[in-house]
Amino acid sequence: MQRSEARWQPRRIALFLGLLALLYGVLFVAADQILRAKSARNPFHRIAMAPAEVDWIVLGASHALPLSMGDMPKVIAARTGADMLSLALTGGGPFTARLIADRFFADHRASGVLVVVDRFTFLDERWNAGRIDDADVLPKIPADRRTLAAFMRAVPHGLPTGALAAYATGFARINDHDRLKRDVWEAEARFDTSPRPSPAADAARLDYLYPGPPDETARAAALAEFEGLVDLARTNGAQVVLVCPPLPDRFRARLPATPELDAALIDIVARHDLTFVDFEAAVPEPASYFDTDHLNRNGVGQWLDAGLAALLAGTGAARAPGFKARRR
């Protein structure tokens, strides 16, 4: 009897493991299907839903997102004759932009890459490799072999191996407690508003973006990723246009000076012969923003009038204001 039980034990173990694998496979597929139905803002999901060729992709953090809110993509297309795919990510720095672009160019084409440059994203690792691992990002990335390949290429650049494992196994998607909620940025509901300015809100926002002294290691890594993004786009036949987004005067006046970062950006622009346009002062009034520093519908229209539309149409680089270091 003991010999019979010993002989059957490996089969039972194999059957048990097979059932576990089957169950996990069902959960893997189900979680991915729910994600695809609920996801909206995740840039990797947007890539999966996008046509094979577009005129422009937009990369950056939340200051780039108003360009894709409401009917703005249609408005921009009507004004410029160019279609645009926003792949911006809230709190996304150069590392995330390069990773997203790497995935996009794996099976898509774009004539141009518009990079909305926010200085704060160069100064802290949490906006870069650390951002991908966040609970509102990693669980929302659909299963895809090209995305997996891009993740693997990003590991030498700093992507946490835990994030790679959680994505590859589907663990992040399966354990997403918010999987049934639609993945949208709540701030988009305020796109047509213009609240009264609040010094307290400005101070809180600045403390969030610039919590302490710049991290020199993070800055060097972000600059390397930024330059890698430029090289990646050009290797794939896309022109690169860099812009600083508009900010209200009251908010802009309180931003910290970043002379080392500014000098490094100016050097990259010069070495790569890039178009880098500084729109920070283009929309000064607080009525053009739906919160401390994000453009509302009227503000986006002013940004287009100030030269962004001409840039996207390919006619305005010569007249646009060049990038300048922030001074105090």
| Domains identified in the chain and CATH numbers | 2-319 (3.40.50.1110)
Q: Given this model, what pLDDT does residue 328 score?
A: 45
How big is the chain, counted in residues?
328
Q: Given this model, what pLDDT does residue 86 score?
A: 97
CA gap 162, 79 in Å, rounded: 44
Q: Given this model, what pLDDT does residue 210 score?
A: 94
- CA dihedral angle for residue 13, residue 19, residue 22, residue 24, rounded to 10 degrees: -80
CA gap 200, 269 in Å, rounded: 36
Tokens at residue 81, please?
A: 């004759």
Cβ neighbours for 222, distance < 8 A, ≥ 6 positions apart: 93, 94, 95, 121, 122, 123, 127, 128
Note whether 310 and 275 are within 8 A (CB): no
Cβ neighbours for 40, distance < 8 A, ≥ 6 positions apart: 182, 183, 184
pLDDT digits (tens, 9 = 90+) for 93-144: 999 999 999 999 999 999 999 999 999 999 999 999 999 999 899 989 999 9
Q: Given this model, what pLDDT does residue 6 score?
A: 54
Q: In angstroms, what CA-CA distances link 299 with 24, 171, 305, 308?
A: 48, 40, 10, 12
Q: What is the DSSP string of 193-218?
A: --PPP-HHHHHHHHHHH--SS--HHH
**Helix ranges (DSSP H) in 128-258:** 129-132, 145-154, 161-169, 171-174, 199-209, 216-235, 249-252
Q: Given this model, what pLDDT does residue 4 score?
A: 53
CA gap 173, 42 in Å, rounded: 13
Note whether 162 and 150 are within 8 A (CB): no
Report helix, strand or coil for 117.
coil
Report helix, strand or coil for 241.
strand
CA gap 109, 57 in Å, rounded: 9
- Residues of the chain whose pLDDT is less than 70? 1-8, 16-17, 19-40, 179-180, 315-328
Q: Give CA 3 to chain center in angstroms.
A: 60
